A and B are shown apart, each in its own frame.
Chain A
Amino acid sequence: MKPRAAVFKFASCDGCQLQFLNAEDELLKLAGQVDFVYFPEARSRALEGPYDIAFVEGSITTPDDARRIIKVREESHYLATIGACATAGGIQALRNWADVEQYRRVTYPSPEFISTLSTSTPISEHVRVDCEVWGCPVDQHQLLAVVRSLLSKARPVLPAYSVCMDCKRRGNVCVVVARGAPCLGPVTRTGCGALCPAFNRGCYGCFGPADDQNMESFARLLASQGVTGDDAVRRLRGINGYVRPWRETADAIAADKK
């Protein structure tokens, strides 16, 4: 029996679940191994739980979603978050530092119909998560490696070291050292294969913090490159801004400025 898999969407752009469909060369193999019984983006037929594997995309931003994720957890034997939104709160976690009520009134002609939370939070703040797949979007190879591990009844192992390791394996010249470019690579988890530095740009931190990093030193490095105050805060409060080490560092820099 093929495992029953489900793909759920919360507050997100759909880019991560699209990585399944973008895996064109692997799609037939994937369909041969896993039965996606609930995947609204891919098929109109949607079956009820329970599910063996749930892939959850998106963050929790509404009271309805806060209730729905609990039901998803109850129905799912194994739950993996996919992407920066589900794993860290996403870019929309910028609201966590803003006045959401004001946004609501300014943005919508009839704000009374909008029911929203004042924060965007990762899935792990609401339910137990078995595996976190980072990235904006997730890396297709990592996503399929997780599927394969689960099929083999093995614990998925995803690399958590810095982008620098893959950057050097790839033979890139360091943009920090050779160009003085601000780059989040040294404190960011690998997964993209050091994509941006390969095109001579600093890393944006799409895969969130590496497993261990020295944010105090990194903040000093940014400052030495002239990246201070709001500029430094904006770099850290990006795609994964709400995740703890980056949040705390950005908050400290912001507090310092005041």
Chain B
Amino acid sequence: MSEALHMPQPALEDLIAMLWREGFKVLGPVARDGAVGFDEVRKVSDLAVAMRDTQEPGRYRLGQGAAGEIFGVVNGAFSLKPFFFAPEETLLEAKRERRGFKVSEVAPVAPPLAFIGVRACDLAALAVQDRIFLHDRFHDTHYQARRKDAFLVAVNCARSAPTCFCVSMKTGPEATTGFDLSLTELEQGFVTRSGSAAGEAIAAKLGLSAAGQNEVVSAKARIDGCAAGMQRGLDPTDLPRLLYAEAENPRWKDAASRCLSCTNCTMVCPTCFCHAVVDQEELDGNMSRRVRKWDSCFSLEHAHIHGINFRPKIENRYRQWLTHKLAAWIDQFGTSGCVGCGRCITWCPVGIDLTAEVAAIRAHPVKR
């Protein structure tokens, strides 16, 4: 890990201004409509300063936080996902010509983005999405165009929401990789570290001095305290085997009796990558756009193939989602699809908690 530097609070203002000057569009956690979300920030006061989130299954409230605290809110409904894997975008256009038609790719419009205040879970999720969209020979050019120049300023968590379980997923609360700069907020300023050459260059321009030993200790104590205080956990032991074996566990039906199949969990999940590709024709039939949109395994159409729907019931779909996320994902990508951000718990309108579902299946297996 790189050297710990001391960043006084005013230097955060400088950092934001510097990133704008470097050509980035700078985004950070901003309060909007009762939650935080990544939105444009020009100055520190644009951020959700002195605010705190209260989260529980199916409930999120934003309230007053500690005076002067800049990163008091753990997270909001949206991760980095929408910024790299667009909710809806045109991939190509086909235009009718005198004979036949001409297909042209639509290049994504992608100004370089800088994010301030990214949590360790969301960095881990980004690594999962990178694995999906940029693996090996096959690169998703649209994802890549947005992703390649992104500058990421992580914030280590000093508190967790009751829905967080990153410790059990080994993704947080401290950002250890995948960032350009990381910050740990203290009473007076931040302890910052660079995680890339780009981060190092920016840190050098900011002219930061080395952090004092007591600051380093205090930063570590905050992160450790956050980890120790985390209330939720998901036991990952032998999960793939358990979930495959328990395909007929009655708990799936039980979860389905609560599940609205509304798709919210998959939409807010920072790793869910399912999408639909649809053709949208112009009315005169002379042009057609091929559009990619976020999709969800909770919609009935998602499992509709020629002549049959192979996941007709909600219990089929809930099982599909959870088993893919926590088990098949590992076979497929070598990593779990879950990073423990807890969004699917908070933003489920009826508060279904995947950690509780897994625990229930583990506690009452039908197969031994």
| A residues whose Cβ falls under 8 Å from a Cβ of B | 26, 29-30, 32-33, 144-145, 147-149, 151-152, 159-162, 164-165, 168-174, 176-180, 185-187, 200, 210-214, 216-218, 220-221
Q: Cα distance A159–B276 when bound, in Å?
A: 11
Q: Is the CB of A177 within 8 A of B349?
A: yes
Please indicate the chain B residues that have their CB under 8 angstroms from the CB of A174 in the complex.
Answer: 60, 77, 264, 347, 349
Q: Is the CB of B260 within 8 A of A169?
A: no
**Which of A32, A176, A200, A211 counts the most B-chain CB atoms under 10 A from its CB?**
A176
The yes or no answer to B350 lying at the interface (CB within 8 A) is: yes
Please indicate the chain A residues that have their CB under 8 angstroms from the CB of B88 in the complex.
Answer: 169
Query: Given A165-B296, A213-B260, list of 17 further CB < 8 A pairs?
Result: A33-B285, A145-B280, A145-B281, A152-B285, A161-B300, A165-B295, A168-B263, A168-B268, A169-B88, A169-B267, A169-B294, A170-B87, A171-B78, A172-B33, A212-B314, A214-B259, A217-B258
Going nearest first, the 4 A-B pairs with the smallest beta carbon separation are A168-B267, A186-B262, A161-B299, A169-B87
Q: Cα distance A20–B85 when bound, in Å?
A: 34
Q: Is the CB of B299 within 8 A of A177?
A: no
Report B299-339 residues with CB < 8 Å from chain A CB.
Answer: 299-301, 312, 314
The yes or no answer to B35 lying at the interface (CB within 8 A) is: yes
Interchain nearest-CB distance for A254 vs B (Å): 22
Q: Is the CB of B37 within 8 A of A160?
A: no
Q: Cα distance A66–B88 when bound, in Å?
A: 43
13 contacts between A and B (CB under 8 A): A30-B283, A32-B284, A33-B284, A33-B285, A148-B281, A159-B301, A164-B263, A171-B37, A186-B260, A186-B264, A212-B300, A214-B258, A220-B350
Q: Cα distance A214–B88 when bound, in Å?
A: 27
Please indicate the chain B residues that have their CB under 8 angstroms from the CB of A178 in the complex.
Answer: 33-35, 60-62, 77
Q: Is the CB of A168 within 8 A of B87?
A: yes
Q: Cα distance A44–B156 when bound, in Å?
A: 70
Q: Is the CB of A148 within 8 A of B283?
A: yes
| B residues whose Cβ falls under 8 Å from a Cβ of A | 32-35, 37, 58-62, 76-78, 82, 87-88, 256-264, 267-268, 280-285, 293-296, 299-301, 312, 314, 346-350
Interchain nearest-CB distance for A88 vs B (Å): 19
Q: Cα distance A147–B284 when bound, in Å?
A: 10
Interchain nearest-CB distance for A25 vs B (Å): 10
Q: Cα distance A148–B283 when bound, in Å?
A: 6
Q: Is the CB of A147 within 8 A of B283?
A: yes
**Which of A32, A177, A180 counts the most B-chain CB atoms under 10 A from its CB?**
A177
Q: Is the CB of B263 within 8 A of A161?
A: yes
**Which of A33, A174, A216, A217 counts the most B-chain CB atoms under 10 A from its CB?**
A174
Interchain nearest-CB distance for B277 vs A (Å): 13
Instruction: Say whether, besides A165-B267, A165-B296, A173-B77, A152 and B281 are in contact (CB < 8 Å).
Output: yes
When C-beta atoms are compared, the residue in chain A nearest to B267 turns out to be A168
Q: Is the CB of B283 within 8 A of A177?
A: no
Interchain nearest-CB distance for A227 vs B (Å): 13
Q: Cα distance A165–B262 when bound, in Å?
A: 7
Q: Which of B32, B59, B259 contacts A217 (CB 8 A)?
A: B259
Q: Cα distance A147–B281 when bound, in Å?
A: 11
When C-beta atoms are compared, the residue in chain B nearest to A32 turns out to be B284
Q: Is the CB of B296 within 8 A of A173?
A: no
Q: Cα distance A180–B87 when bound, in Å?
A: 25
Q: Is the CB of B33 within 8 A of A214?
A: no
Interchain nearest-CB distance for A217 vs B (Å): 5
Please indicate the chain A residues that have their CB under 8 angstroms from the CB of B264 in the complex.
Answer: 164, 168, 174, 186
Q: Is the CB of A162 within 8 A of B299?
A: yes
Interchain nearest-CB distance for A181 vs B (Å): 10
Q: Is the CB of A165 within 8 A of B78?
A: no
**Which of B32, B60, B294, B314 counts the most A-chain CB atoms under 10 A from its CB?**
B60
Q: Is the CB of B87 within 8 A of A214?
A: no
Q: Cα distance A210–B301 when bound, in Å?
A: 11
Please indicate the chain A residues that have their CB under 8 angstroms from the CB of B300 in the complex.
Answer: 160-161, 211-212
Q: Is the CB of A171 within 8 A of B284?
A: no
Q: Cα distance A26–B296 when bound, in Å?
A: 31
Please indicate the chain B residues that have their CB under 8 angstroms from the CB of A173 in the complex.
Answer: 32-35, 37, 76-77
Q: Cα distance A162–B312 when bound, in Å?
A: 16
Q: Cα distance A212–B88 when bound, in Å?
A: 23
Interchain nearest-CB distance for A151 vs B (Å): 6
Q: Cα distance A149–B281 when bound, in Å?
A: 8
Interchain nearest-CB distance for B330 vs A (Å): 26
Please indicate the chain A residues that have their CB under 8 angstroms from the CB of B283 in the complex.
Answer: 26, 29-30, 33, 144, 147-148
**Which of A186, A200, A213 counts the most B-chain CB atoms under 10 A from its CB?**
A186
Q: Is the CB of B294 within 8 A of A214?
A: no
Q: Cα distance A30–B82 when bound, in Å?
A: 35
Instruction: Say whether, besides A148-B283, A170-B87, A165 and B261 are in contact (CB < 8 Å).
Output: no
